[in-house]
Amino acid sequence: MAGMAKPHKRFVCQACGSVSSRWQGQCPDCAEWNTIVEEAPSVAASPFQAKHNLQGGGRAIEMIGLDSEVKLPDRIATGIAELDRALGGGFVEGSATLFAGDPGIGKSTLLLQAAAKLALAGKPVAYVSGEEAADQVRLRARRLGLGAAPVRLAAATSTRDILTTMSMGPPPALLVIDSIQTMHSDLIEGAPGTVSQVRASAQELIRFAKERGTAVVLVGHVTKDGSIAGPRVLEHMVDTVLSFEGERSHQYRILRAIKNRFGGTDEIGVFAMDEEGLSEVGNPSALFLTHREEGVTGATVFPALEGTRPVLVEIQALVVRLQSGATPRRSVVGWDSGRLAMVLAVLEARCGLSFSSAEVYLNVAGGYRVQDPAADLAVAAALVSALSERPVPADAVAFGEIALSGEVRPVAHAALRCKEAAKLGFERALAPASVGKEGGALRLSGFRTLGALVDHLLGRG
């Protein structure tokens, strides 16, 4: 049988999707153990095809300039303002959105609410559940008070069945697939949930979206380490990736766009979870800034910025002196631990404060995750306050970026941060010296160096 190409075996890592030609215990790409699985061989190109010159024999495609007329894609606003905000104005017609989140965080709840709202507004909406029986979804709808919404509901897992049904009659404006990991394509072998199945099913659903102008939403599960389970590849295939985050023990949830081909990724939507489902939180600062007491050491308020929206959060630090020579712990919740190490190092090296024999705990209250680099100064103030046992004034907020040299650097949108702080009753800002007039109604204590902030907090002039 010379000349006949032998189908190659394919081994695919179920965590990262990397393909290798033999089985291995550990994936060479992502270093996960026991994630490599043999999958159906791809049809190898025949020697003829491989040798054939690709620069001929095809059809000519039309090339156009960047300046030709385009129509902005239509958006389907759900009427849930926080969801529309995270999406950049609503779902885009003919686009695919990956809706990712931890188990039980409320993905199905929010999408059912959005589907019902659109259906009540007269849009054709379909919701396909591969995880729950139709009755279970109906029960949830009833609990949320949405039992009367004309959503077309089905429990199915075959993409062929789903797309066949959707192609009969006019296509829906919104199609929710809950979840992509339960979908199965018969074009390819393998169990649902494997990388190749998820990829194939997503491909078919995305093609349907583009061809028929339906906004398709794929629900995806997230693994413990935060990656979208198995199919990281999905992130590349879809137009928009939304991540639904929050501590399950806390009431609020944050919806964040990680990727958006039709808009920015810096806006967040804030929701609170209760019996009636997810309700919108229009003023998140009030939520994160729960009862503050005067005279507490180690706490500062930081006006964080999420997109164009300021959110005030409390940063708490605890410093515990160790008697023995044991290696002290550094523990961080809600902030980057590398960043904490940096702020501690600058406090040691530039300001002469020693944390080396003390345990340091840092916590962002309410389970919020701070990503804004302007948090440095607020963290430093909390640490200095905890170490010196002198409270930071309760009427002050703090923000600014710290350089390794100990300089306090200006940050974006100082005016917006100060305005939000003033609105919530704060009177002072500890901030970079460059802020100046942007402080608005707040009394400003401006600092050029971290040393100056330390002196200020310790009352040294």
Ligand X SMILES: Nc1ncnc2c1ncn2[C@@H]1O[C@H](COP(=O)(O)OP(=O)(O)OP(=O)(O)O)[C@@H](O)[C@H]1O
Tokens standing for residue 75: 């958006």
Binder to ligand X among 108, 159, 201, 214 (CB under 6 A)?
A: 108
Q: Which of 162, 186, 184 is nearest to 175 (CA)?
A: 162
Span 214-233, contacts to ligand X by CB under 6 A: 221
Contact with ligand X (CB under 6 A) among 94, 101, 220, 334: 101
The partner in contact with residue 105, picked from Mg ion, ligand X, none with C-beta cut-offs of 5 to 8 angstroms by kind, is ligand X
The SS3 of residue 22 is: coil
Q: Which residues contact 102 (CB under 8 A, 6 or more apart)?
A: 221, 222, 244, 245, 248
CB nearer to ligand X: pick between 14 and 108: 108
**Looking at beta carbons only, is 80 or 380 nearer to Mg ion?**
80
Q: At what angle do helices 134-143 and 107-120 cross, to 10 degrees?
A: 70
Question: Segment contacting ligand X (CB under 6 A): 99-107, 117-125, 329-337, 403-411?
Answer: 99-107
Residue span binding ligand X (CB under 6 A) among the ranges 42-50, 105-113, 367-375, 404-412: 105-113
Q: Which is nearer to Mg ion, 97 or 300 (CB)?
A: 97
Neighbour order of strands in the sheet with 428-432: 330-333, 358-364, 309-321, 299-306, 396-398, 428-432, 443-447
Least distance between Mg ion and beta carbon 107 (Å): 5
C-alpha 391/C-alpha 229 separation (Å) is: 44
Minimum CB separation of residue 225 from ligand X in Å reads 16
CA distances, 265 to each of 52, 270, 369 (Å): 44, 15, 16
Q: Which is nearer to Mg ion, 107 or 199 (CB)?
A: 107
Contact 230, 37 (CB under 8 A): no
| Closer to ligand X by Cβ: residue 143 or 423 | 143
Report the partner that residue 103 touches, choosing among ligand X, Mg ion, none (CB closer than 5 to 8 A by kind): ligand X
CB-nearer residue toward ligand X: 137 or 343:
137
* Rounded least distance, CB 233 to Mg ion, Å: 22
Site string for Mg ion, 92-111 (x = CB under 5 A): ----------------x---
Among 75, 85, 107, 199, binds ligand X (CB under 6 A): 107
Q: Site residues for ligand X, window 318-357 (CB under 6 A)? A: none
**Which positions ≥6 away from 316 have C-beta within 8 Å?**
298, 299, 362, 363, 364, 365, 382
Closest to Mg ion by CB, 108 or 316:
108
Question: CB 56: neighbour CB atoms within 10 A?
Answer: 6
Which three-class secondary structure state does DSSP give residue 71?
Answer: coil
- HSE at residue 195, side-chain half, CA atoms within 13 A, is 22
Q: Contact positions toward Mg ion, by CB under 5 A?
A: 108
Q: Contact positions toward ligand X, by CB under 6 A?
A: 101, 103-109, 131, 143, 221, 273, 275
